[in-house]
Amino acid sequence: MSVDLSTEQYEKHREAGEILAEVRDEAAERVDVGTRHLDVAEWAEDRIRELGGKPAFPVNISIDHEAAHATPGVDDETTFGEEMVNLDIGVHVDGWLADTAITVDLSGNDDLATASEEALDAALDLVEPGVHTGELGAAIEETIDGYGFNPVVNLTGHGLGHWQQHIPPNIPNRAVDTGVELEAGDVVAVEPFATDGSGKVGEGSTEEIFALEHERSVRNRQARQVVEQVTEEFRTLPFATRWLDTDRAEMALRRLKQQGIVHGYPVLQEAEGRLVSQKEHTVIVTEDGCEVTTRSR
């Protein structure tokens, strides 16, 4: 069955991707030793809005052994050092998403950054209707292995839905027998992670990113203000503590977590404390291949 990829939904996916490609490249140029993480994150989020989109989630700035879910806190003074820096950025246009990531290596480990980049290219070369997601994982794993590193096996790429950052299908970063065949019209983010460690990540203790789990009434004023802002501005998409307009936002979020109204995203980090690199593009599966919406123009 053919899919009409000229509909408003796909045009908004494309618009989000075009904005995101520009912001990713400009943000990567701002990553330098001595620059504050917060300055880069807020610049990128403001630039997304300036170009007509909205952030689909807080800009992730993961350092060295961190793999995902790290974003600066309010008044965070942390600066970049001679480190491996992963920028993961998302844009939505009316809830239709694009997701991309790039490694900016300030640590002198160019091969690790190249491994994830080449793995992404190898997977994208295979994307078309009927390709099994396990084949994409095999291409990613083989490429990263060829550089002498390991893929992070418990992180995957994913589908992108309307106001939904992670939906099926999962795109594995290793060869697997389970999975599905991609179909024309699927919108997926392919995101290889490479590491010089064992290839698994675990949860750290830091949380700065949250998302709405259930809508229900709350009595506490600050908590109620958070729920109202989240449902109006972010819906089901992730948000940062620093985005909230409420006084005592951290206390309100703790209360909402206890009540199961929001859930947090702990920073994910390589199990042995080793370096992690990442590269990600969003693609629309077409009748005869794929369209990369987040590629630089």
Catalytic residues: 88, 99, 158, 166, 191, 280
On whether the CB atoms of residues 238 and 209 are closer than 8 A, the answer is yes
Contacts with 198 (C-beta within 8 Å, 6 or more apart), sequence order: 150, 270, 271, 272, 274
> Has 69 been labeled as part of a binding site?
yes
> Has 99 been labeled as part of a binding site?
yes
For residue 118, count other CB atoms closer than 10 A to its CB: 18
Question: DSSP for 11-63?
Answer: HHHHHHHHHHHHHHHHHHHH--TT-BHHHHHHHHHHHHHHTT-EEEEEEEEEE
- What is the C-alpha R_g of the chain? 19
Instruction: Give the number of residues written for the chain.
Output: 297
Contacts with 268 (C-beta within 8 Å, 6 or more apart), sequence order: 66, 67, 68, 69, 155, 201, 202, 203, 204
Greatest alpha-carbon pair distance for the chain in Å reads: 56
> Has 281 been labeled as part of a binding site?
no
> Has 65 been labeled as part of a binding site?
no
Q: Looking at the DSSP assignment, which residues form a beta bridge with residue 101? A: 88, 280
Question: What is residue 68's DSSP assignment?
Answer: E
C-alpha of 82 from chain center: 23
Report residue 81 as tokens: 């050092």
> Has 191 been labeled as part of a binding site?
yes
Report residue 215 as tokens: 């809508």
> Has 263 been labeled as part of a binding site?
no
CA distance 168 to 74: 33
- Angle among Cα 186, 125, 188 to the nearest 5 degrees reads 25
Annotated binding site for substrate: 69, 166
Annotated binding site: 69, 88, 99, 158, 166, 191, 280
Annotated binding site for a divalent metal cation: 88, 99, 158, 191, 280
